[in-house]
Structure 1
Amino acid sequence: MSRRWLTVVLGCIASVAVHAERITDIAQVAGARSNQLVGYGLAVGLDNSGDQTTQVPFTTQSITNMLQQFGINISSTLVTRTQLRNAAAVMVTAELPPFAKPGQPIDVTVSSIGNARSLRGGELLMTPLHGADGEVYAMAQGSIAIGGINGQGASGSSVQVNVSNSGRIPAGATVERAVPGTLSSGGLVRLNLYNPDFQTAARVANAINAQMGRGTAVAQDPATIVVRAPLDPGQTVSYLASIESINVTPAEAPAKVIVNSRTGTVVINSTVQVSPAAVSHGSITVTISENPQVSQPGAFSGGRTQVVPQSTVDVSENGGHMFRFGPSVDLNQIVHAINQVGASPTDLISILQALKEAGALHAQLIVI
């Protein structure tokens, strides 16, 4: 790992200082949640880049069913023989915002589920979007916007930038059914913290009581604050708007070290501490090289020329550095020490895991 990489990670974390935040940024009103929608449809009008109907049978069946709705009876076998390449089977997903009303537009994402090469220039046909309960909550249709580019030559050479078999339709769906929701129940409103924490919940309740009057809010648990609201529904919205604008200083996040073993990314937050410990860091390099030799038989020997493999294996150990952490070491000192020995991402992960096993790393070590 280069020194620059570690410095970037430290700068991103150190710049996030603890400061006051609005309640609307750290909590949401219970019941004001979005809902996921999904649907199956057809994208047509593709430039010979759609599904190969001989290999994707459900596209053929979908086209047949669609044509029958318009009074055109055609067999699936005929559709397969015609080798349609301008249509593709797609999945359509959307997020229904809280309190969305019938007639409001929402964005949708369209993704190919067959072997279509690109959805560029495609038109999504009318597709019902279902919720988890199986009911239709929106209808989607429109031109698909693609951000990727791909091209292929006659010789087989190809180039691709981003993904071209998935795209979006801005305002591509219309809400047909509203999800029932209430802001208050029995004159009580519940605020749910995005990151549950006992201290943050207590601070939110105290801030609301200081602003709205004693006894207005009670922290029910680390995630929920119960707030007394007006019984008149017409006053609830303005009342909640006043509460959401109150500033609260959240509690410090628990000490965590997040390690992504697949990408080598390590994130350490500012509350991580290390007890006194000594760490030895060394790097072993194994080099294997193949140098095939040609064996030429002598004249008139009747032998054949052969290639004789010859391998060379070298093992070298570099570094062997040792550094020591003193008491109450903070993030700056951890990154500085690891920078000095030039640890790679893999080495850093091994060091952190060893410190955790030794009981010197006072943080949750999360490997994803």
Structure 2
Amino acid sequence: MGKMIRTIVYVGLVFLINTSTADDLMNLVDIQGIRSNELAGYGLVVGLDGTGDKSQVKFTSQSVTNMIKQFGVQLDSGVKPKLKNVAAVSVTATVTAMLGEGQKIDIVVSSLGDAKSLRGGTLILTPLHGMDGEVYAIAQGSVIVGGLGAQGADGGSVTINTPTTGRIPNGATLEREIPNTFNDNQFITLNLRKPNFTTAKNIARSINALFGPSVAQAMTFASVQVSAPMNRGQRVTFMSMLEDMDVEQGKGKARVIFNSRTGTVVISQSVKISQVAVSHGGLTITIQEDPYASQPNVLARKGNTEVIQDSSIDVQQENPQMLVWPEGVDLQTIVNAVNSVGASPDDLMQILQALDVAGALNAELLVI
């Protein structure tokens, strides 16, 4: 049969982003002084079924030796224990803001050596340190591993997910509260997640409308300063009222984003173009290969049978259509016009690139 080769049109999606909507205040800002903190530590996972670190991982055997000495067991200097049931691991945790002493947090345990799996292991008592070097939590518990690894005698192996990383829900206990500055200042600073002058102005205006003039002031396009009660109970009530507040967002920056790998086009609603005329036509190239066998004449004394390729090429070009867009045309008009001529997302991107080069696209064009 003949082999046919055609040009491929990639299929993508066009998403319309509405950049001017009302949303909960706390979805728009982060509160300065209320933040999570990262903890990290070094520990040992024991009780593995021969899947621990090998003897060439020196720090594992040194850690086990030091741990045993703490329990009063002395080893000779020449003794080098071979431990297949122990793995050296890093222990990490994220502490959300304002957690108190004695509260539990989840931890993640990851192998540091060449252990094959942490399944069935138990993390022994491990201190977790902050950036200042102080111990803030103590971790211990049975490791839950979502991955699986198995190896046969012939060297074949099967691995599902990552068996060298696991979690311990509520595996660490906070020994001390991590200090924060939220209650130390008369003012609360709201940092906008998407800096915008109009959004900052609307936040300050909404707060002042509820609590009175001069309570909130927009400092920059990225922060709003709010005067709050110093009494902790009153401050909690104040923040609760802020959580229930809706704020109108300002218009975001006009952007057109094109993913060249997937053909996805994302256009913000504020994209507009200057007056311009666009002509775009599609080109389809069809190449058909029809191989056939060529044999020598029956009376010929010499010759070989060969396969000959018979190629036929067909080029078809659609009649290009001229589109005229007036000054300040909006996104919906652009998309409707492009869809009306049957253009694909790739065609749309080529049109937008041409508009950008011509200086008619009043938006930032980003190709990722």
TM-score range, shorter chain: 0.7 to 0.9
Alignment deviations for residues 84-129 of structure 1 (CA, whole Å, 9 cap, x no partner) = 4433333222211111222111112222343333322222233322
Measured after TM superposition, the shift of residue 131 of structure 1 is 2.0
More displaced, 65-74 or 165-174?
65-74
SS, match of residue 47 in structure 1: coil
Show the 5 A alignment for 1:228-307.
228-261=227-260, 265-275=264-274, 276=276, 278=278, 280=280
Q: 1:344 to 1:254 in 2, by over 3 A?
A: closer
CA distance in 1, matches of 2:309, 2:91: 55
More displaced, 261-270 or 236-245?
261-270
- Which residue is equivalent to 1:334? 335
- Which residue is equivalent to 1:295? none
SS, match of residue 70 in structure 1: helix
- Which residue is equivalent to 1:63? 61
Measured after TM superposition, the shift of residue 224 of structure 1 is 1.4
Is 2:228–2:238's contact at 8 Å kept on the other side of the alignment?
yes
CA distance in 2, matches of 1:126, 1:136: 13
Measured after TM superposition, the shift of residue 77 of structure 1 is 7.8
- Which residue is equivalent to 1:142? 141
CA distance in 1, matches of 2:156, 2:340: 43
Is 1:205–1:225's contact at 8 Å kept on the other side of the alignment?
yes
More displaced, 349-358 or 169-178?
349-358
- Which residue is equivalent to 1:296? none
Report the structure, 1 or 2, having the larger helix content.
1
CA distance in 2, matches of 1:153, 1:128: 37
Match for 2:128: what amino acid? Answer: L
CA distance in 2, matches of 1:53, 1:312: 65
- Which residue is equivalent to 2:96? 97
Alignment deviations for residues 188-219 of structure 1 (CA, whole Å, 9 cap, x no partner) = 22222222111111101111111111221111
- Which residue is equivalent to 2:205? 206
Measured after TM superposition, the shift of residue 266 of structure 1 is 4.4
Measured after TM superposition, the shift of residue 354 of structure 1 is 4.8
What's the % identity of the aligned pairs? 40
Is residue 2:26 matched to residue 1:27? no
Is 1:273–1:331's contact at 8 Å kept on the other side of the alignment?
no
Query: RMSD over aligned Cα, in angstroms?
Result: 4.0
Is 1:269–1:331's contact at 8 Å kept on the other side of the alignment?
no
Is 1:148–1:160's contact at 8 Å kept on the other side of the alignment?
yes
Measured after TM superposition, the shift of residue 63 of structure 1 is 3.0
SS, match of residue 181 in structure 2: coil
SS, match of residue 78 in structure 1: coil
Is 1:41–1:124's contact at 8 Å kept on the other side of the alignment?
yes
| TM-score computed with the length of structure 2 as normaliser | 0.74
Show the 5 A alignment for 1:14-163.
18-54=20-56, 57=57, 60-71=58-69, 72-73=74-75, 78-79=80-81, 82=82, 84-154=83-153, 157-163=156-162
Alignment deviations for residues 110-154 of structure 1 (CA, whole Å, 9 cap, x no partner) = 223433333222222333222222222222222222223444445
Is 2:264–2:345's contact at 8 Å kept on the other side of the alignment?
no
Match for 1:50: what amino acid? Answer: G
Match for 1:177: what amino acid? Answer: R
Match for 2:268: what amino acid? Answer: N
More displaced, 174-183 or 212-221?
174-183
Show the 5 A alignment for 1:170-249.
170-249=169-248
Is residue 2:366 matched to residue 1:366? yes
CA distance in 2, matches of 1:340, 1:165: 54
Q: 1:220 to 1:17 in 2, by over 3 A?
A: closer
More displaced, 136-145 or 194-203?
136-145
Measured after TM superposition, the shift of residue 227 of structure 1 is 1.3
Show the 5 A alignment for 1:3-18.
3=11, 5-6=12-13, 10=15, 13=16, 18=20
| TM-score computed with the length of structure 1 as normaliser | 0.74
Q: 1:280 to 1:52 in 2, by over 3 A?
A: farther
CA distance in 1, matches of 2:365, 2:358: 13
Match for 1:273: what amino acid? Answer: K
More displaced, 326-335 or 164-173?
326-335
SS, match of residue 172 in structure 1: strand
Is 1:126–1:141's contact at 8 Å kept on the other side of the alignment?
yes
SS, match of residue 220 in structure 1: strand
Higher relative contact order (CA 8 A, sep 6+): 2
Q: 1:51 to 1:205 in 2, by over 3 A?
A: same
Unpaired stretches in structure 1, ≥5 consecutive residues? 292-309
- Which residue is equivalent to 2:294? none
Is 1:286–1:316's contact at 8 Å kept on the other side of the alignment?
yes
Measured after TM superposition, the shift of residue 20 of structure 1 is 2.5
Q: 1:106 to 1:149 in 2, by over 3 A?
A: same
Q: 1:62 to 1:352 in 2, by over 3 A?
A: farther
The structure that has the greater radius of gyration is: 2
The count of aligned residue pairs is 338
Is 1:277–1:360's contact at 8 Å kept on the other side of the alignment?
no
Is 1:68–1:74's contact at 8 Å kept on the other side of the alignment?
no
Is 2:35–2:96's contact at 8 Å kept on the other side of the alignment?
yes
CA distance in 2, matches of 1:363, 1:333: 13
